[in-house]
Chain A
Amino acid sequence: MDEASYQSFEGFVVSSGDRLMRTAVLLTGNRHAAEDLLQGALERTYRRWEAERIIVPEAYVRRVMVNAASRWRRTRQIREEPLDAAVERVGVEGVPDLALRDQVLSALQELPRRQRAVVVLRYFDDLSEAAVAEILGCSVGSVKSHASRALARLRLSQHLGDVRIQSERRR
């Protein structure tokens, strides 16, 4: 890859890296696995960066991550490690909301991989049902079905009990 191409790749990583990292964290459930997942997806993207024009790089990386996360989970290669506060952006109140993240990630981990992917792509990445179906290689109806079941399971999740209480207290 020549220097100009690398510069454009680096620009893409700088502009989209944080967003993609957040997707990776939601897909994998922990930061270390998310870093591995994102880096692996970016390496694949890097190999194709010059040879093939990738029209929407972020969508491409997201697709690679979703598929890789599914495979990793099947082979249990994800490093299960506790959340840590290292390399966190300090939040508005001065500390990252690790408790909330822990609850949300734990609830997501309870979902089957397909449902989790739908939740992340649909409700975090804000993709349309058609776009999610295209990434997952299934029908729009299947996406709707997965989303509905995932929402029902999340509603029953023990991990999100406090979220309900906080939400009621705020009202």
Chain B
Amino acid sequence: MPADDAPPGTGDAFASDPLREQKLRELLDQATRSVTAPAGLAARVRAREVSRHQTRRRALVIGAAALATSSVIVGGMAVEHHFTSGGGLSVITAADGSVLPTPATGTPANPGVPPAGVATSSPAAPAISLPPVTPARPDQATVDQIALAFNEAFDADDNVDDGLAYVQNGSEYHDLTVRFGQQYPGLVGNLRVRLEDITMNTSDRARATVVLTHSDPVLGARWGYEIRRGVEAVRVNGRWLVSASTYMFLVGTA
């Protein structure tokens, strides 16, 4: 049945009239007549949806756990949220704790201090010009004692009271520390403590940045948390201790 307007030598099965449209209908029907849906399709759909739902729930749990800390290490990089007095500044550091250069200057970003020119969420300061204050650097013996206090306080071993001996009013935090250990059993033996930028506020008070790192014992070294916080040490009866407010903040709010 050649079409009136079909070029010679070409197929003529269809043209714009009802008969040829009917021919197309028949062809489409014949061509797929033997096609059937896969067996058990409904069950397969349900299984996929159940699996998808479980995966989504798992992702939400992991996401919630990640958000519960200040920083999450993914692969080789970590995005951190600094809770300095300015607050609200995010920087990217390498997972091994080294600090990446900032894009503008190539100089290392100071983990505890927002880079110049970066707006933070702190309220605008009054326009008063103050002379720059150079923090006093402690001597090496003081640095060692403060570092020892933080290492012992957060050594995460089974003996709670040993660590609390290096915390200001440590005996008050016994129950809190026990609960913390029960809540995060994976931390035991896994937590690493490092102090940076120790400066003296007064002769008995020092500030520093503590970097607490632990990897997930199940997921491996590439997954874990790095918590970087401004902390305070106090000297009580000649001994340097982790200040009560710092310990309460790090352990009590974890």
B1 & A89 in contact (Cβ 8 Å cutoff)? no
Interchain nearest-CB distance for B6 vs A (Å): 6
- Residues in B neighbouring A25, C-beta threshold 8 A: 32, 35
List CB contacts (< 8 Å) of B44-65 with chain A. 44-46, 48-49, 52
- Residues in A neighbouring B21, C-beta threshold 8 A: 123, 151
Q: Mark B9-38, 1 if CB is under 8 A from A, else 0.
A: 011111110001101110111111111111
- Residues in A neighbouring B10, C-beta threshold 8 A: 155-156, 161
A-B pairs with beta carbons under 8 A, tally: 134
B27 & A18 in contact (Cβ 8 Å cutoff)? no
* Segment touching B, from A74-82, A93-101, A135-143: A93-101
B3 within 8 A of A: yes
Size of interface on A: residues with Cβ below 8 Å to B: 54
- Residues in A neighbouring B45, C-beta threshold 8 A: 9, 13, 39, 42-43, 46
For chain B, the bracket of interface size reads: 35 or more
- Residues in A neighbouring B49, C-beta threshold 8 A: 43, 46-47
Cβ-closest 6 pairs across A and B: A17-B37, A96-B34, A104-B31, A22-B32, A10-B42, A13-B42
Q: A residues within 8 Å of B by Cβ?
A: 1, 6, 9-10, 13-14, 17-18, 20-22, 25-26, 31, 34-35, 38-39, 42-43, 46-47, 87-91, 96-97, 100-101, 103-105, 119-120, 123-124, 126, 148, 151-152, 154-158, 160-161, 163-164, 167-168, 171
